[in-house]
């Protein structure tokens, strides 16, 4: 029997999958904005990272900025969605622990970061949903029966 992947490649066959595109777009845009802020407000971000006790805060800010810009962009277009969601979930977990719990920074580390972590876990579970490049790029050709 030949198996062909549908346009919703990589998604769970649940009602939840219909929420994947808006969650990808909104969270991707948030990550993109915050990632750009790591570059446009670099001195301020370095001061924050330094106050958290992170090693090499200057380099750390650039690394997180790249992760958020690239990861956010990948979410928006729906490419490598689960990989991007996994990396960004780790980023949000770190923000919650280091700046939220460790430093008591409520906004955004104990408000937005948990919401984004939940969104990334959701995308890991259901996949990219419809209108994602994953469905086109990762589409596998059907195999002929043996």
103-138 tens-digit pLDDT: 998 889 999 999 999 999 999 999 999 999 998 887
pLDDT at 44 over 80: yes
Q: Give pLDDT, residue 70.
A: 98
Q: Give pLDDT, residue 14.
A: 76
pTM for this prediction = 0.85
The whole-angstrom separation of Cα 43 and Cα 6 is 47
* Two structure tokens written together for 92: 């949000």
Is residue 58 within 8 Å of residue 46, measured between CB atoms? Answer: yes
pLDDT at 46 over 90: yes
pLDDT per position as a tens digit, 58-90: 999 999 999 999 999 999 999 999 999 999 999
Residue with the bigger pLDDT between 69 and 15: it is: 69
CA torsion angle 44 33 110 88 (round to 10): -110
pLDDT at 7 over 50: no
Q: Give pLDDT, residue 83.
A: 98
The whole-angstrom separation of Cα 79 and Cα 82 is 9
The whole-angstrom separation of Cα 6 and Cα 58 is 44
Quote the DSSP letter at residue 54: -
pLDDT at 1 over 60: no
The whole-angstrom separation of Cα 120 and Cα 10 is 15
The whole-angstrom separation of Cα 130 and Cα 66 is 26
Q: Give pLDDT, residue 137.
A: 84
The whole-angstrom separation of Cα 105 and Cα 21 is 30
Mean pLDDT of the chain: 89
Residue with the bigger pLDDT between 143 and 116: it is: 116
């Amino acid at each position: 029997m030949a198996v062909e992947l549908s346009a919703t490649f990589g998604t769970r066959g649940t009602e939840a999958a219909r929420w994947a595109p808006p969650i990808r777009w909104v969270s991707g845009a948030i990550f993109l904005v915050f990632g750009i802020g790591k570059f446009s407000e670099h001195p301020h971000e370095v001061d924050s990272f330094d106050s958290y006790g992170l090693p090499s805060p200057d380099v750390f800010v650039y690394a997180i900025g790249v992760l958020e810009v690239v990861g956010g962009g990948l979410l928006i277009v729906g490419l490598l969605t689960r990989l991007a969601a996994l990396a960004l979930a780790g980023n949000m977990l770190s923000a919650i622990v280091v700046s939220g719990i460790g430093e008591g920074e409520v906004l955004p580390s104990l408000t937005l970061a948990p919401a984004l972590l939940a969104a990334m876990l959701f995308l890991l579970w259901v996949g990219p949903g419809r209108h994602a490049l994953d469905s086109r790029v990762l589409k596998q050709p059907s195999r002929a029966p043996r």
